[in-house]
Amino acid sequence: MLRKAGVGRGDRVAVFLPQSLESAVAIYGILHAGAAFVPIDPATPPARMQAILDKCGVRHLITQEGKRADIARLIQTPHGLDLIVGLDAGLGGISTKSWAEVFAATPSDGPQITDQDLSYVMWTSGSTGAPKGMTHVHRNGLIYAGNLAETHGLCADDRFLGLSPLHFDMAVMDYIAAPLVGATTIIVPEAVAKLPAALTRLAAQQRATVVYTVPFAMTQMLHRGAMEKYDLTALRWMIFGGENFPAKHLRALMQALPQARFANAFGPAETHQISSYTLPGPPEDGAAIPVGKPWRTLEAMVVDAKDHPVTPGEAGELLVRSPSCMLGYWDDPVRTDHAFFRRPLGGTLSQVFYRTGDLVRQDPDGMMYFLGRVGRQIKLRGFRIELDEVEAVLVAAPGVQDCAVVCDDTRQHLVGFLRPDAGQTPDLARLKARCRDHLPPYAVPSELRVIRAFPRTGSAKIDRAALVRLELDKD
Amino acid sequence: MNSTMTSKTPPSLDIADTVSAFLSSAEMTGRVVARDEDLLSSGALDSLNIAQLIAFLEARFALTIPVEDVLPETMGSIAAITEYVTQKTGGAQGEC
């Protein structure tokens, strides 16, 4: 069907779907047609989605009836869409194909592609407010999936609890590693994923063996999942990544699932996962949990501010040279250039490392420890958020003089502090609505507060640490 | 609602109205939420405001909602919440 619509090698096709069987059909149909899939978070506001589709040159979109209203809003502004798959009837003069037609269609042959052809472009927050598209080729996902399979001994008897939406690179486990080893993926509907007790019930009913998700989701299962009511003895791997797992919660979860092994997965979506650490037992409070040794398919290097390797055991930025590294950010030569470090080989040749922005320490035996972020990007409940991007949205609003957004780690939410223009009283509800319109839902501050003057550091910068203290002292 | 409806508003309607007003408030969705809207799939509720919803229901209707009860069939729509609260309060109004 996509081939008949003119989709071919190297094209980008957007997937705007909640977790469903259709999402699996969509990505395999796109790959079979020789194209790359562009997953769009189903909660993305229209303006942001429009920016991604434009930038990526998307002409074909795969969705479902439930998204009709969102798409109707999207196409009110100029767009380049030729075909929408997943709608039962036409919309705004764009031709559509229903899912019934998709399932009735006879598959056609795909073009010949290589492991260097585009497979997916995943969009993430950028510090200037413009999203950036991590552009991957087939080889990248296959190497990532192969490393996961080897590390965890994944096999055809496994049943993965598929929690990662397509726009998370962890979805490679559910959508690529599972078919690679012949395992089953239980694609978890959004409604179930949001309710820990429903998730635990599904894991038990489906006899799930592997869970691969962010610590937040696992902590929710522990506290709100009614785990004691369900038989979860089939679980053999609990693999977490994306942020630190507080030791006290991890220990409690390990004690609740004594038969399961727990692993810490590590690596940015730009290179995909680069290491894994299997815990020998429940961690002590405050213990630093390693992120593992680099997988043997790649090279990790820890450097100082001048890109010189540090002495083993010292902290520095992690650079990664990996066969599963992205080609670059889609249509963004400047940020792509900044993302890479080139180590000269001789002549004009060089080896390319991705600058992770992660501050790590690597012991002489290769074991790595994650210490934090070099820049101002944070992780909240597994989502990467550029605080600068959130601030850019707020500062651009009329009546806002200055602002600072901080993350309250205790409450796990963002707080925006605003200094209004002289004589103005900002409409906080409207500002929040503005954030909802321009940012992914997880980057919208939970709370906005007006502040008459910002605490400042010695160099006259807004003292964000003082703001965090202010927030903590509130109660 | 039903043919035997009297001048007195049935409790379930009050529960639905109360829940509806709360979900439409600025701190929750900031928009009108339909009775049968799938709150969990439509994006109306995320994991943070589900916790706020539970806290609200417990306080407003003097209930204790055990974690194992927080499921799509009890919290998935205003209609489902109304039915759950009605059942938990034995059909009586939990005014406080």
B40–A226 C-beta distance less than 8 A: no
Long-range contacts, A272-276 (Cβ 8 Å, 24+): A272/A136, A272/A140, A272/A141, A272/A143, A272/A144, A272/A169, A272/A172, A272/A322, A272/A324, A272/A325, A273/A144, A273/A147, A273/A148, A273/A241, A274/A298, A274/A300, A274/A320, A274/A322, A275/A300, A275/A368, A276/A151, A276/A152, A276/A239
The per-residue pLDDT for A238 is: 98
Helix axes A215-224, A196-205, angle to 10 degrees: 90
A286 to A219, A244, A283, A289: CA distances (angstroms): 17, 11, 8, 9
**Six-digit token string for A286:** 């405050």
B26–A194 C-beta distance less than 8 A: no
**Chain A residue with Cα closest to B25:** A429
Mutate to test the interface with B, among A188, A192, A195 (most CBs of B within 10 A): A195
Give the residue with greater pLDDT, A70 vs A384.
Answer: A70
The per-residue pLDDT for A462 is: 72
Q: Collect all residues from A whose CB is shorter than 8 A from any CB in B.
A: 18, 42-43, 66, 189-192, 194-198, 201, 220, 223-226, 229, 381, 413, 429, 432-433, 441, 446
Q: What is the pTM of this model?
A: 0.82
**Chain A residue with Cα closest to B72:** A191
Can you tell me the distance from the alpha carbon of A407 to that of A376, in angstroms, rounded to the nearest whole number?
11
Alpha helices in A94-195 (DSSP H): 99-104, 138-152, 171-172, 178-181, 190-193
Mean pLDDT of the A239-245 span: 86
Can you tell me the distance from the alpha carbon of A216 to that of A241, in angstroms, rounded to the nearest whole number?
10
Check for a shared fold between A12-113 and A381-473: no
The per-residue pLDDT for A152 is: 98
**Chain B residue with Cα closest to A413:** B48
The dihedrals phi and psi of A371, each to the nearest 5 degrees, come to -110, -20
Q: Which residues pair with A415 in a beta bridge?
A: A406, A447
Q: Which member of A42, A224, A441 has the closest CB to residue B46?
A: A441
pLDDT in tens, B39-90: 988 778 877 688 889 999 999 999 999 999 999 999 999 999 999 999 998 8
**Chain A residue with Cα closest to B76:** A191
User: Which residues in chain B have Cβ-Cβ distances shorter than 8 Å to A413?
Assistant: 48
Q: Are strands A184-187 and A400-408 parallel, antiparallel or unpaired?
A: unpaired
Quick one: A300 exposed, middle or buried, by C-beta within 10 A (0-12, 13-18, 19+)?
A: buried
pLDDT in tens, A181-220: 999 999 999 899 999 999 999 999 999 999 999 988 898 8
A189–B41 C-beta distance less than 8 A: yes
The per-residue pLDDT for B94 is: 45
Can you tell me the distance from the alpha carbon of B61 to that of B93, in angstroms, rounded to the nearest whole number?
7
Can you tell me the distance from the alpha carbon of A47 to that of B83, in angstroms, rounded to the nearest whole number?
37
The per-residue pLDDT for A454 is: 80
Q: Name the residue ranges covered by the structural domains of chain A.
A: 12-113, 140-284, 299-368, 381-473
User: Which residues in chain A have Cβ-Cβ distances shorter than 8 Å to B72?
Assistant: 191-192, 195, 198
pLDDT in tens, A60-92: 999 999 899 999 999 988 889 999 999 998 888
The per-residue pLDDT for A93 is: 87
Q: Which member of A194, A225, A413 has the closest CB to residue B40?
A: A194
The per-residue pLDDT for A242 is: 83
A429–B30 C-beta distance less than 8 A: yes
pLDDT in tens, A142-176: 999 999 999 999 999 999 999 999 999 999 999 99
Helix or strand run (H / E) with residue A160: strand A159-162
| 3 state DSSP class of A163 | coil
The per-residue pLDDT for B7 is: 46
Read off the pLDDT band of B91 (50, 70, 90): low
- Cβ contacts from A onto B, under 8 A: 54
> What rounded mean pLDDT belongs to chain A?
91
The per-residue pLDDT for A475 is: 54
Q: What CATH number labels A299-368?
A: 2.30.38.10
User: Which residues in chain B have Cβ-Cβ distances shorter than 8 Å to A446?
Assistant: 48
Assign a CATH topology to domain A381-473: GMP Synthetase; Chain A, domain 3 (3.30.300)
The per-residue pLDDT for B51 is: 83
The per-residue pLDDT for A292 is: 97
A195 to A20, A121, A384: CA distances (angstroms): 17, 29, 22
Q: Cα dihedral sign for A239, A242, A248, A253? A: negative
**Chain B residue with Cα closest to A229:** B68
How many of the other CB atoms lie within 10 Å of CB of A392? Answer: 19
ipTM metric:
0.82
A413–B41 C-beta distance less than 8 A: no
**Chain B residue with Cα closest to A41:** B43
What is the residue-wise DSSP string for B33-80?
A: --TT--TTTSSS--HHHHHHHHHHHHHHTT----GGG-SHHHHSSHHH
Residue reference for tokens 């500062």: A395
A365 to A116, A293, A294: CA distances (angstroms): 33, 8, 11
The dihedrals phi and psi of A289, each to the nearest 5 degrees, come to -90, 120
Taking chain A, what is the end-to-end CA distance rounded to the nearest angstrom?
58
Read off the pLDDT band of A373 (50, 70, 90): confident
For chain A, percent helix, then strand, then coil, each to nearest 5?
30, 30, 40
**Six-digit token string for A61:** 């979109």
N residues, chain B: 96
Helix or strand run (H / E) with residue A137: strand A132-137
Q: Classify A140-284 by CATH class.
A: alpha beta
**Six-digit token string for A225:** 């999942």
Mutate to test the interface with B, among A224, A228, A414, A446 (most CBs of B within 10 A): A224
| 3 state DSSP class of A149 | helix
**Per mean pLDDT, which of A240-249, B19-28, B33-42, B76-85 is the most reliable?**
B76-85
Q: Which member of B40, B69, B71 has the closest CB to residue A190?
A: B40
Read off the pLDDT band of A409 (50, 70, 90): confident
Which residues have a Cβ under 8 Å from the Cβ of A368 and sit 6 or more positions away?
A: A266, A275, A290, A291, A292, A293, A294, A300, A318, A360, A361, A362
A197–B67 C-beta distance less than 8 A: yes
A356 to A69, A179, A353, A414, A433: CA distances (angstroms): 38, 29, 9, 23, 32
The per-residue pLDDT for B95 is: 47
Q: Which member of A198, A229, A446 has the closest CB to residue B48?
A: A446
Q: Collect all residues from B whose CB is shorter than 8 A from any CB in A.
A: 26, 30, 38, 40-41, 43, 45-48, 50, 66-72, 75-76
User: Which residues in chain B have Cβ-Cβ distances shorter than 8 Å to A198?
Assistant: 70-72
pLDDT in tens, A269-295: 999 999 999 999 999 876 789 999 999
Which one of 3.40.50.2000, 1.10.290.10, 3.40.50.980, 3.40.605.10 gives the CATH number of domain A12-113? 3.40.50.980
